[in-house]
Amino acid sequence: MKHFHYFIAVLTLASVILSACGTSTAAPEGETVSPSNDSVNDSAVQNPEETEAGEEIVTNPEDEANSQTITYTLGGSEISESASLVSSPEQSFAIYTLPDFTLVSEEPGKDVLYLNEDSSIFMRIELIDESVNLEQLIQTTTDQLAVVSNVVSQDETSENVELPDAIKLEASNEEQIVTSYIKKGEFRWKITMFTTASMDYRDAFLQMAKTITPIE
């Protein structure tokens, strides 16, 4: 009888051990336990603003080189706009032009940058050859402006703070304002602006003219 009870006890113990092994949560050797779906979702959720702020903005160096911000005054207000680099169709120069303006060839040796809204508002651009005598050019320009008005103002290079190393000539009447700048130095050029009192884009033209650079 004792042997019978002993045998029953052994069978019961073996059953308990086998049952415990069958319910083990340990992963088989060589396998990795994956986190629950809840933990994966929690790690994946991010603040959209933080994600966007953390992203690196990739810019094209060529795009940056072909555009720059130009600030000018119009009607007493200061305006800043992105200007695009444009090459002259006929002459060896490039200039940053504001969105409302177009550069075209007028004739050999002369380009025109005009206001799209009104083509009578424009700036003529002429490169000055090394062989040209500047004193004669200044006198010729003065004579041309005298057609607009008997009074032609002239700012010498030392007085002209708007465009260093340049001479400014200007004449006006009730209908128009004509302004010329003759730039000295290694890269010489002349610009002549045609504006009016109601559409005074002189500063816009001047700021664009400051970006004129030679090209081969």
Give the pLDDT score at 11: 43
Burial of 134 (0-12, 13-18, 19+ CB in 10 A): middle
d(CA 171, CA 193): 11
Strand partners, 68: 83
* Average pLDDT of every residue of the chain: 79
Band (38; pLDDT cuts 50, 70, 90):
very low
- Using a pLDDT cut of 90, give the percent of the chain over it: 63
d(CA 127, CA 99): 23
Domains and CATH numbers, the chain: 61-214 (3.40.1000)
Strand partners, 93: 214
With H, G, I as helix, E, B as strand and everything else as coil, classify residue 48. helix
pTM, to two decimals: 0.71
Give the pLDDT score at 164: 86
Give the pLDDT score at 36: 40
Dump pLDDT digits (tens) for 93-129: 999 999 999 999 999 999 999 999 999 999 999 999 9
- Is the pLDDT at 57 greater than 70, yes or no? no
Tell me how many degrees the CA angle 126-145-148 measures, rounded to the nearest 5: 130
Dump pLDDT digits (tens) for 177-215: 999 999 999 999 999 999 999 999 999 999 999 999 999
Give the pLDDT score at 216: 81
Band (64; pLDDT cuts 50, 70, 90):
low
Strand partners, 84: 67, 97
